[in-house]
A and B are shown apart, each in its own frame.
Chain A
Amino acid sequence: MERDTHFVLGVYDDEDVLLNAVEEVRSSGVRIQEVYSPYPVHGLEDVLGYKRSRLPIAAFLFGILGTTLALLMQYYMMLFDWPMIIGGKDYASFPAFIPVTFELTVLLAAFGMVGVFMISSNLKPWAQPRIFDVRSTDDKHIMAIDIANNSAMDIARIEDILKSSGAIEVNKKSFE
C-alpha cells in the first residue's frame, strides 16, 4: 500500500526538540512540506528557512493611504466644498485635522494589513483546512513531509530520519 501514502508525519511534543529536528531533517536532505503547531514557536520560521513576512510593508502602505485620504477629505470638505469660519479659525486649520487623520491612518493600516493576512493565509469562514493530525491544535507539533517532493529517498529512510530526530511517533497520512 506504499503508493497510497502521500505524507509522512513526524509527531513532536517539545518545541526545542522540534527546532533541532527541523534542522537535522533538512540537513539530511529531506524537504519539509510544513510544520503545524498548537502555538507560535519562536525561531521555527528561521530553521525552516522561510522568508520574513512582508505584512509590515502592507501595513505601512495602507497607513500612508489612510493619512492621504483623511487629509484630502478634510481639506476638500472644509476648504473647497463648503468653506466656513468656525471659532474664528482658518479654513485650513491643520492642527484640528490631526485627530481624524491619525484615527483614519490607524484604521486603514489595521484593516488593510489584516485583510492581506486573511487572503495570504487563506483564512475565510468557508475554508476547509487539511488537518494532518487533530492534536496539532492541542499539544503536538506535526512535521509533514510530502513523498512526491522527496522521490529520491525511500519512505523507510525518511521515517528513520524522523525517529532519530526525536519524533515520538511517525505516521502516514493521505488525503482523497
Chain B
Amino acid sequence: MQVTSSVRDPLITGGKTYHDVTHDVCRQVENKPSVAWYLAFLTAAGVLALGSIAIVATLWEGIGMWGLNKTVGWAWDITNFVWWVGIGHAGTLISAVLLLFRQKWRTSINRAAEAMTIFAVICAAMFPVIHMGRPWLGAYWALPLPNTFGSLWVNFNSPLLWDVFAISTYFSVSLVFWYIGLIPDFATIRDRATGLRKTIYGALSFGWDGAAHTWMRYESVSLILAGLATPLVLSVHTIVSFDFATSVIPGWHTTIFPPYFVAGAIFSGFAMVLTLMIVTRKVFKLEDYITIAHIEMMNIVIIVTGSIVGVAYITEFFIAWYSGVEPEFYAFYNRATGPYFWAYWTMMTCNVISPQLFWIKKIRTSIVATFILSIVVNIGMWFERFVIIVTSLHRDYLPSSWAMFYPTWADVGVYLFTFGLFFSLFFLFAKFFPVINMAEVKAVLKSSSEKVSK
C-alpha cells in the first residue's frame, strides 16, 4: 500500500463510493444523448462536411489550390500539421510521464486526454498526406517499399522520413495504451448492460474478468508502456523540429529547436485538454472527478512550459544577434518588425504574457479565466508555427523573389475539415466511451483519502 498524507485533500470530492464512480461515468454511455450533444455533434459534422469540399478540390485540382508560391512553399499545411501534433502531446504525457512520477491526479483526465491525442494526431497526419498531391501513391514515398522504378528506397537521412516513423509509431503506441486502459471499463459497462449493448461492449472488453493474475499483468504492461511512451513522446516533437532544424534556412537552422518544440507541444496540448475538459465536466456533471485542483495542476504545467517557450523565443533572438550572421539576424528582425509583425506580436502576447497570468491564484482556479486563456494559448501556438514557417521563407536570400503568403479558401477549408474531424470524433468518444478511467479512479479513491464511503 502506498502511504498518503492525511493532510492532503482527496482527489475525488463529493464522498463518492465505488458504485457512484461506476454510475456517474456509465450514465452518459447508457442514457440517450442530450439535445446539447446532438447540436454539438451535428455542428462538428457540418463543419466536417463543409471542409471536405476543400479536401476534394485539393485532391482533384492539386495543391495549386492553396496559396503557396515559389518563395513560400510551406505555409498553412505544415503550420496546421505541427499545431495538431503539438496538441497531440498532452495525452501521452499525462498518462505516461505522470504515471512514472506517480501523480495520482492524472487518473481523472488521462482517458479523455489520450483520446484527444489520438484524434489530434489523425488530424495532423492528414496534412502531409494531402500535401503529397497524389496521396494514393504516398506509400512509395513514405514507406520503405521497393517501387516500380526499381528498388530505389526511401531516404533514411531525411528528417521527413523520420517523421513518418515517429508519428506512425506514436499514433499506434498511444492507441494501444489507450485501448488497454479501456478494456476493464468496457467490462464494467458490459456487466451492467443487456441485449445488443452487452454483445458490443462484451466484444470490446475482450473477455475481461478482473482476475488478480490479469490485473498483475495489466499493471506490468501499463508501467512498461509508460516507460516506452515517455521517450517516445519527447522524440516525436524533437523529430518534427528536425524538419526545420536540419535545414540551412535562417530562422530554422537552430539547435534550440528540439527542447523548445517539445515544451511548446506540452504547452498547447495541456491548453487543449483544459478547453475540452472544462466543457466535458460541465455537460456530463463530472465536477467531483475533475475538480478545481485538477484544473489548477494543469495550469501550473502551462506556466512552466509557457515560461520555457518564452525563454526560448528570447534566447533565439539573442543568439541570432550574437552569432553575427547577417541573414540569421535579419530573419528574426524581420519577424518582429517586417510585414508579419502582427503575427509575431500575437504569438508573443498569447504565449509569453498570457500564461504568466496563472501566477495569480484567483485566475488559475477560475474556470472562466482558464477556459479563455486555454483558447488564447492555442491561438498563440498556431501563430508560433506560422511565424516560424512563413516569416523564415518569405524573404529569402534574393530580394527579387521576396513574396507574401495569402491563404485561399481551400487553405481555410482544409483547416476547417480537421476541426470538424477532431470534434466529431471527440463527441462520439464522449458519448460511447467512458470518459473517465473508472478502474484507475477507484484505485486512488481510498489511498487518496482517509476514509472511503461504501
Interface residues of A (CB under 8 A from B): 13-16, 34-45, 48, 50, 53, 55-56, 59, 73-74, 77-78, 81-82, 84, 86-87, 89, 93, 96-97, 99-100, 102-104, 106-107, 109-111, 113-114, 117-118, 120-131, 134, 136-139
In the complex, whether B93 has a CB less than 8 A from a CB of chain A is no
List of B residues within 8 angstroms of A44 by Cβ: 212, 215-216
In the complex, whether B341 has a CB less than 8 A from a CB of chain A is no
In the complex, whether B208 has a CB less than 8 A from a CB of chain A is yes
B157 lies within 8 A of A89 (CB): yes
B442 lies within 8 A of A106 (CB): no
Name B162's closest neighbour in chain A (CB-CB): A99
- Name which of B224-232, B367-375, B379-387 contacts chain A: B224-232
B209 lies within 8 A of A131 (CB): yes
Given contacts A40-B218, A110-B225, contact A103 B169 (CB under 8 A): yes
A111 lies within 8 A of B172 (CB): yes
In the complex, whether B5 has a CB less than 8 A from a CB of chain A is no
Interface centre among B180, B217, B446, B452 (most CB of A within 10 A): B217
Name B146's closest neighbour in chain A (CB-CB): A81
B191 lies within 8 A of A82 (CB): no
Contact of A40 among B18, B173, B219 (CB under 8 A): B219
A37 lies within 8 A of B215 (CB): yes
A53 lies within 8 A of B217 (CB): yes
In the complex, whether B19 has a CB less than 8 A from a CB of chain A is yes
Contact of B454 among A14, A38, A50 (CB under 8 A): A14
Contact of A100 among B162, B183, B219, B225 (CB under 8 A): B162
In the complex, whether B17 has a CB less than 8 A from a CB of chain A is yes
B191 lies within 8 A of A134 (CB): yes
Bound-state CA distance A63–B17 (Å) is 41
Chain B: interface residue count, which band? Answer: 35 or more
What are 20 A-B contacts with C-beta separation under 8 Å?
A16-B1, A39-B184, A39-B438, A40-B215, A40-B219, A42-B2, A44-B212, A50-B212, A78-B156, A78-B157, A86-B155, A86-B158, A100-B165, A109-B224, A110-B173, A136-B209, A138-B19, A139-B18, A139-B19, A139-B22
Closest 6 CB pairs of A and B: A127-B207, A139-B18, A99-B162, A123-B206, A39-B442, A129-B209
In the complex, whether B138 has a CB less than 8 A from a CB of chain A is no
Given contacts A73-B144, A74-B156, A137-B184, contact A45 B216 (CB under 8 A): yes
A55 lies within 8 A of B221 (CB): yes
List of A residues within 8 angstroms of B231 by Cβ: 102, 106
Interface string of B413-454 (1 = CB under 8 A from A): 000000000000000000000000011101100100000101
A107 lies within 8 A of B18 (CB): no
B454 lies within 8 A of A77 (CB): no
Interface string of B190-221 (1 = CB under 8 A from A): 11100000000001101111111111111111
B213 lies within 8 A of A40 (CB): no
B165 lies within 8 A of A104 (CB): yes
Interface of B is mostly: helix
B22 lies within 8 A of A138 (CB): yes
List of A residues within 8 angstroms of B440 by Cβ: 39
In the complex, whether B311 has a CB less than 8 A from a CB of chain A is no
List of B residues within 8 angstroms of A124 by Cβ: 206-207
A26 to chain B, nearest CB (A): 13
Name A114's closest neighbour in chain B (CB-CB): B176
A-facing residues in B125-162 (Cβ within 8 Å)? 144, 150-159, 161-162
List of B residues within 8 angstroms of A55 by Cβ: 217, 220-221, 224
Given contacts A40-B218, A43-B1, A137-B188, contact A129 B207 (CB under 8 A): yes
A18 to chain B, nearest CB (A): 10
Contact of B191 among A43, A107, A138 (CB under 8 A): A138
A50 lies within 8 A of B213 (CB): yes
In the complex, whether B71 has a CB less than 8 A from a CB of chain A is no
A45 lies within 8 A of B443 (CB): no
In the complex, whether B187 has a CB less than 8 A from a CB of chain A is yes
B215 lies within 8 A of A41 (CB): yes
In the complex, whether B239 has a CB less than 8 A from a CB of chain A is yes
In the complex, whether B235 has a CB less than 8 A from a CB of chain A is yes
Bound-state CA distance A118–B208 (Å) is 10
List of B residues within 8 angstroms of A127 by Cβ: 206-207
Bound-state CA distance A124–B183 (Å) is 11
In the complex, whether B271 has a CB less than 8 A from a CB of chain A is no
Name A48's closest neighbour in chain B (CB-CB): B212
Given contacts A50-B216, A129-B208, contact A106 B232 (CB under 8 A): yes
Interface string of B278-292 (1 = CB under 8 A from A): 000000000000000
Bound-state CA distance A118–B217 (Å) is 10
List of A residues within 8 angstroms of B144 by Cβ: 73, 77
List of A residues within 8 angstroms of B393 by Cβ: none
Interface centre among A87, A97, A103, A120 (most CB of B within 10 A): A103
Name A140's closest neighbour in chain B (CB-CB): B18
A72 to chain B, nearest CB (A): 12
Name B221's closest neighbour in chain A (CB-CB): A117
B166 lies within 8 A of A103 (CB): yes
Contact of A34 among B162, B166, B211 (CB under 8 A): B211
Contact of A125 among B184, B206, B454 (CB under 8 A): B206
List of A residues within 8 angstroms of B169 by Cβ: 103-104, 106-107
B192 lies within 8 A of A138 (CB): yes
Bound-state CA distance A45–B206 (Å) is 22
Bound-state CA distance A160–B225 (Å) is 42
Bound-state CA distance A127–B177 (Å) is 21
List of A residues within 8 angstroms of B209 by Cβ: 36, 129-131, 136
